[in-house]
């Protein structure tokens, strides 16, 4: 089940994520990982929507990927995802909004450094989204 990134992710979802004790998860994906996230969201839509509470992308060219996916899946991502793109603006500064979600600055122009430079902002995003879950649960 790991012939491609998409098949590997589907295998992990089926045999690990679905069977783990955690009921709410967040996802961090760099670059092409955004396409893999879209594939997971398409293939496992009800599970994905229920389980995934936040998606952090780093410099993922999502505009290219979203064109071939169902608009409902893309709309679902918009509620959960932020893409930290290559930019020399300060880390986490809002850049623009897209159909798949918000784009913020990763604080670095080099593609390969975007995950590293946005790391703290990404984990703060995860913490904030988890706190929202806790508030809504009570």
- Please give the positions annotated as active site: 31
CA–CA dist 61, 124 (Å, integer): 22
The helix/strand/coil state of 41 is: helix
Largest CA distance in the chain: 43
Task: Tell whether the torsion through CA atoms of 20, 121, 106 and 38 is positive or negative.
Answer: positive
CA–CA dist 75, 73 (Å, integer): 5
* Lookup result for tokens 């955690």: 22
* Cβ proximity of 58 and 29 under 8 Å: yes
């Amino acid at each position: 089940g790991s012939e491609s990134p998409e098949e590997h992710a589907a295998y992990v979802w089926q045999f690990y994520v679905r069977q783990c004790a955690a009921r709410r998860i967040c996802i961090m994906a760099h670059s092409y990982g955004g396409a893999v996230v879209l594939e997971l969201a398409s293939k496992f839509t009800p599970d994905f929507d229920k389980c995934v509470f936040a998606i952090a992308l780093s410099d993922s060219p999502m505009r290219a990927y979203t064109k071939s996916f169902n608009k409902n899946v893309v709309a679902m991502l918009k509620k959960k995802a932020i893409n930290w793109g290559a930019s020399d603006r300060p880390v986490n500064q809002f850049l623009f909004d897209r159909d798949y979600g918000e784009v913020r600055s990763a604080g670095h122009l080099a593609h390969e450094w975007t995950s590293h430079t946005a790391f703290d902002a990404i984990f703060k995003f995860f913490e904030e989204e988890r706190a929202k879950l806790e508030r809504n649960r009570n």
